[in-house]
Amino acid sequence: MAGRRAVPGDESDRDYLTTAQVAQRLGVKPETVYAYVSRGLLTSVRESRQRGSRFAAADVEELAGRTGGRRARPANGSIERIHTRVTLLADDRLYYRGRDVAELTGYRLESVAHWLWRGVDLAEVPPFEAPAGPADLVRRTVRLLPDGARLTDRIRMIVAAAGTADPLRFDLSEQAVVRAGETLLAMMADTLPPCPGAPPPTGSCLAARLWPKLTARAATPEHIRLLNAALVLKADHDLAVSTLAARVAAGARADVYAVVSAGLGVFDGRHHGAAIGLAYRFLRDALDPAGGGPTAAVADRLRAGERLPGLGHLLYAEHDPRADLLLGLLREHAEHDERVARVIRTVDALTREPAARAEVFPNADLALAALAHAMQMRPDAGEAVFAMARSIGWLAHAMEEYRQPGLRYRAIGVYTGTRPPSR
């Protein structure tokens, strides 16, 4: 930014601000103002009479406008607050664009995706479809993975291969992002390999097409509604770490497939998506009467100094609404399915076991693990449900980010290494 030299006492002096005034306007420390100068975000003008540096008011206002009056590059290395209209967590409730997720579980995932992406009415939308040619390419690519590859490994491969097959992937307009999002979700549902012996899909919706990839059990309409609800419940959760990664990628103007890949990269950490696998194994041990049941499963992890997977949550005080809703739907199936009933009884027992130490409640990880055990799904089915569903949220946040100035997330590193000798 260029500034013109002010003449003290001249009328133009009012067009310039002191360092202290700039710091107050931008909400930063004076030291940070000089950091902006060193990076070319501001241009200082050295005044005579030892009045210090001055800054053109127009330049300061331009920088403030780009940052909404907030810190452009906070001195402590953190990034600015992210304003979003996508998801709200309040009072142990979850809302997508102002609508309670409890209501949204009654809609097909495709409609909820459009609600998150565009905020349009929750009308029925046509089935998401993948073009035959690119879908064949993706299938051939996924088949290169070893038989033991996890579903999330395959999903990452699907995303990467689908991106190479889309010559228009750098079109970041809303219409193009929505179209690519529909195609990508269809790719995930259609190109994952089915479980051995699984019957073909019983419907055209995403949940019906995904079902045989997760379990060989024949699906009823109630089963499809249950899986659809699980997908809706995991579609977004405010600024989880994977969502932040997706927004950073979108801020660099990465394409849709790269944005989802960025989210998947963080998703695979044991403190995020992989936590569902830990909850699955915890519940598996608790379901095993020969191993001692719920009490032994809890005791084994306490003895090892581990936290109890699938219990409690950092963002909820008394209950996780997603777990309540999904487990509630499972309880309805438990009335006429003994396998489901046994899973629910075990979840309830796990919740009671550690009650003497602290109040705990099942979270969404344990609820997905319960769904997998109850419906005889693959051990990694819960992670796949989570990854596919959360891709919707990542794209909703990316669409917000594409409308913001690029590269908003350039944090400042606090250097602690050896410093060069002073000159």
Tokens linked to 366: 């344990």
For residues 402-413, average pLDDT:
82
CA distances from 102 to 32, 106, 320 (A): 45, 8, 12
- For residue 82, the model assigns a pLDDT of 85
- What is the largest distance, in Å, between two alpha-carbon atoms of the chain? 89
CATH 1.10.580.10 fits 101-407, yes or no: yes
The whole-angstrom separation of Cα 398 and Cα 390 is 12
Roughly what angle, to the nearest 10 degrees, separates helices 364-374 and 275-287?
50
CA dihedral 69, 95, 89, 379 (to 10 degrees): -120
pLDDT at 72 over 80: no
Indicate the range of 210-224, 303-317, 336-350 predicted with least confidence: 303-317
Query: Which ranges in 197-240 belong to alpha helices (H)?
Result: 206-214, 221-233
- For residue 400, the model assigns a pLDDT of 95
Band the pLDDT of 415: cuts 50, 70, 90. confident
CA distances from 399 to 72, 256, 329, 389 (A): 21, 9, 32, 16
pLDDT at 418 over 50: yes
* Domain boundaries along the sequence of the chain: 101-407
The mean pLDDT of the chain is 87
pTM for the whole structure: 0.80
For residues 239-255, average pLDDT:
95
pLDDT tens for 322-365 read 999 999 999 999 989 999 999 999 999 998 876 545 558 999 99
